[in-house]
Amino acid sequence: MVDGLDADAYDALVTAAETYRAALVVRLAGEAGLRTEEITRVAPRHLREAESVASARILAVPATDGDESAGAESTLSGAESIDRETVVPASLAAGLDRYATSEGLGDDDPYVDVSPRRVQMIVSETAARAAGLTDAALDERVTPSVLRKTFARRMLVERGVDPRAVRDAGGWESLGTLDGYLDPLDGEALAAAIAGEEDAEGAPAERTGTTVLPGFEALAEPGSADPVTAVPAGLIETDRWAEAWVVRRAVGGERADVAATAGVDRETLADRGATAEGPWSAAIADRTPAAIDGSQATGGRPAVAVPAVYEGVVHGALCVVAADDDPADETERRALAALGRCLGRAITADRWRELLHSDAVTEVEFHTTDEGAFLARASERLGCRIELASTVDVDDDVSRAYLSVEGARPQDFAAVVEASTGVSDFRVIETREDGCSASLRLAGGSLVRALVDHGATVRDASAADGRVRVVADFPEGTNVRPVADGLRDRFADVRLASKESVARSPRAESSLRDGIADRFTDRQWAALSAAYHGGYFDWPRGSTAEEVADAMGVSSPTFHNHLRKAQRALLDGVFEDGGERSVREGEERAVRTDG
């Protein structure tokens, strides 16, 4: 009996990943054959180009501590011991490159900087989500071990790779371990295998998804053009695709327009009837790859559309048209779907940058009294006022919220936390006569995080008398009504209390922060924010470094590493600017003295 997931179930699992990192965890096990602990060890320096095969990427897998069976010493990092090497698919390699760039990872920083236990939980949580979102036959009890079996199944059964290559790539001890995946060969199959008749018959080689690689490369290229423009241009570099274009929706809007094209112009698409209500609408509505139906819209050639989606927000669709009559196979569809998710993430990042640099914003205020909002529930039961100082993303759909509480004792607030679902790990930072400052672990999302995922900057969030009030800024011209409708899927009574266009206040951000904000990686900013709001910089300290690291779910050395780098970026901004001012002031003093 063959173990592991079939193609549909595996694709559903990858698609259900709520974060880019969660998708990488699944893919490193399912497409590179990595064990649980190995996933937490691989870093950018372990990924290299293959010398013998164009476009192939090889991943060196570090040996686990105390692994006496490890292979020869590697020159990657002194005397580091490498267990084996494996080949990763082109789309996964491009995804690892992009993730390392977006997260500011150094060569030695692990792609997945969590414990092996957390890796298992990420896979389990993703499987549970996939089982609830899809009709695919998917058992919720998926583990990294099952994904390794999926890797073996794909290589041996679906692609017919030499079992010796699969054994070495996956680190299995013997070929006997893989016997369960291999059916007995009859005489004809043996003759074809030994004589090489399958190749002689000229059967077309199976695609491996490399036809999509130029799209990933265009997206990951440092300093590249607008990703919406770059991706279609990259895709038509291959002979596989004749046309590619991106359909964009305005922030919060329902209308979609062709934003960028390659291999075809907008006028031609319009003449074919490829308008805002075009055949890609199924991909946007269902958030899954869809064949584009309609020979007029595609010039009679096979075509597919995939959603450009990030954190549940669909920004539009990526559409490609084949150069011949051969439709996209399942491998290509999965690779295109992954490219669509990467494009969605890039569009979200562009919207955040647009908001940061715009002169005017759309200011909105949302209210909710929904019992599902913990701050509303706590403020009503305790008769207190709660100010949300900050939220720090800890892992996947988990955040640590830093609160200022007035009118309630810490022990009473802790009792409400213990009696609630989705919140835990309540920690008091400072006790005051009429309240406290504290933090707690918030799972399952929040109104604040949902707004951030939609491209907003949250400026104020508070709760009193059972009502949560959130004030946020969107880019100018945003249609926030559909955003509000989406929020009601999570909090039934969310109400849009006000909306107005306002000029960005010159005091909204200091010149110091304007000059250095882009120097931080996400991890460095999270460490600095958690340390600040956790009282690490107070005297006496409200929290030790170990306590802050534990609250963030990372090791103390990892926390110190990101905090030190963040402090260095902060001080560089102070002293670099300060040095320039000192030189100017010295020159002015010299002029005055000479005069």
Any residues with CB less than 8 A from the CB of 159 and at least 6 apart, and which? 206
Residue 586: pLDDT band with limits 50, 70, 90: very low
For residue 355, what pLDDT is reported? Answer: 58
pTM: 0.45
Residue range 435-441: mean pLDDT, rounded: 91
Domains of the chain: 7-187 (1.10.443.10), 210-357 (3.30.450.40), 360-506 (no CATH), 509-595 (1.10.10)
For residue 265, what pLDDT is reported? Answer: 86
Q: Tell me which H or E stretch contains 404.
A: strand 398-406
Percentage above 70 pLDDT, the chain: 73
For residue 110, what pLDDT is reported? Answer: 93
Q: What is the pLDDT of residues 49-82, one digit of tens each?
A: 887 666 678 999 998 654 444 443 344 444 578 8
- Say which residue the tokens 């017919």 belong to: 160
Residue range 369-387: mean pLDDT, rounded: 89
| Rounded CA separation 401/403 (Å) | 6
Q: Tell me which H or E stretch contains 229.
A: helix 227-235
Nearest in space to 328 (alpha carbons), one of 427, 217, 240:
240
Evaluate if residue 487 carries a pLDDT over 90.
Answer: no
Contact 439, 448 (CB under 8 A): no
Q: What is the pLDDT of residues 308-326, one digit of tens each?
A: 887 566 788 888 988 888 8
Phi/psi for 490 (5° steps) reads: -100, -40
Residue 421: pLDDT band with limits 50, 70, 90: confident
Q: What is the pLDDT of residues 516-540, one digit of tens each?
A: 555 677 778 888 888 888 888 887 7
DSSP three-state, residue 437 = strand
What's the Cα-to-Cα distance from 500 to each of 474, 476, 496, 506, rounded to whole Å?
10, 10, 11, 18
Contact 383, 473 (CB under 8 A): no
| Rounded CA separation 254/299 (Å) | 26
Higher pLDDT, 487 or 395: 487
For residue 79, what pLDDT is reported? Answer: 55
What string of DSSP letters covers 341-358? HHHHHHHHHHHHHHHHH-
| Rounded CA separation 231/220 (Å) | 10
Nearest in space to 232 (alpha carbons), one of 328, 273, 17, 224:
224
What's the Cα-to-Cα distance from 503 to each of 471, 495, 497, rounded to whole Å?
15, 24, 19
DSSP three-state, residue 282 = helix
DSSP three-state, residue 325 = coil
Evaluate if residue 16 carries a pLDDT over 90.
Answer: no
| Rounded CA separation 465/454 (Å) | 27
Mean pLDDT of the chain: 77
Q: How many C-beta neighbours within 10 Å does residue 105 have?
A: 18
What's the Cα-to-Cα distance from 174 to each of 165, 167, 178, rounded to whole Å?
11, 7, 8
Any residues with CB less than 8 A from the CB of 232 and at least 6 apart, and which? 215, 244, 245, 246, 260, 261, 262, 263, 318
Q: What is the pLDDT of residues 109-153, one digit of tens each?
A: 999 998 888 898 889 888 887 877 655 556 667 888 889 988 988
Evaluate if residue 253 carries a pLDDT over 60.
Answer: no
Which 8-state DSSP code applies to residue 179?
G
Higher pLDDT, 280 or 242: 242
Evaluate if residue 202 carries a pLDDT over 60.
Answer: no
| Rounded CA separation 418/491 (Å) | 21
